[in-house]
Amino acid sequence: MLFAYLCVLALLFYFLCIPLTTRWLLAPLENAAKPSLPKGSAAVVVLGGGQRRSIDATKLDPSPHSLVRLIEALELSAKFNWPIIVCGGSYSGEVPEAVAMANKARRLFPNLTIYEEARSRTTWENIKNALSILKSLGINDVVLVTHGYHMFRALMTAKRMAPEINWYPYPVGEFKELVPLSLMDFLPKASDFQINSIALREYLGIVAYKAKLLLGRI
């Protein structure tokens, strides 16, 4: 019996480490929303994707996830002259994630208008706290920038929390492969284990947020 359990665990671990599973898990998430942009003026809201935690503001560094989102948002802002709101707080007294992103953004594009939402720790807090800035600016068209796998949950939350705002999804940083299936898709890789773990976490997050919606807590 113990041997059978170990075999099942080994098989599950194998499937979590192969690109084939990554294709299956990510496709529904990353295909849920296509990039769209408003025709007039708007604001760009960037949801944080992590950072190297630090209590020293001079040593802040956004994570690779955050950088992908930030760079795409900066390109939009520079092209259309739209203000940016960077979102992300802290958990245990470190400098907030929004500060790390804003510092990086100002070094790259010193002339852009950047607002920091530095109090949130979850996606729905990102949206909730960014809304107060959007309302103070009188902006009704908002481009929401986050990774493709995260966009479904973020957009669902934004539309429920502020249906009066026109939300335009702008998913970035897709992970799923765009080439035909091959033997490489059956070879386990540490990177695919990480991506599959993120995807599974996102599915759990969607279930949790839908439960909150049903209970009227969002």
> For residue 143, what is the domain's CATH number?
3.40.50.620
Of 38 and 8, the structure prediction assigns the larger pLDDT to 38
Residue 68 lies in a domain: yes
Instruction: Kindly report, residue by residue over 76-87, the tens digit of the pLDDT.
Output: 999 999 999 999
Residue 40 lies in a domain: yes
Instruction: Kindly report, residue by residue over 93-113, the tens digit of the pLDDT.
Output: 778 889 989 999 999 999 999
Residue 10 lies in a domain: no
Which residue range(s) make up the domain with 166? Answer: 32-176
> What pLDDT shows up at residue 85?
97
Pair of tokens at residue 100 = 């790390």
φ, ψ of residue 140 in degrees (nearest 5): -110, -15
Residue 8 lies in a domain: no
Residue 92 lies in a domain: yes
> What pLDDT shows up at residue 217?
66
**What is the rounded average pLDDT of the residues 180-208?**
90
pLDDT of 89 above 90: no
Contact assessment for residue 44 and residue 77, using Cβ atoms and an 8 Å cutoff: yes
> What pLDDT shows up at residue 76?
96
Distance CA 141, CA 138 (A): 10
Instruction: Kindly report, residue by residue over 30-41, the tens digit of the pLDDT.
Output: 999 999 999 989
Residue 17 lies in a domain: no
> What pLDDT shows up at residue 57?
67
Domain total in the chain: 1
Helix or strand holding residue 114 (H, E): strand 114-117
- What mean pLDDT is reported for the chain? 89
Residue with tokens 């194998």: 14
Instruction: Kindly report, residue by residue over 101-152, the tens digit of the pLDDT.
Output: 999 999 999 999 999 998 888 898 999 999 999 999 999 999 999 999 999 9
Residue 84 lies in a domain: yes
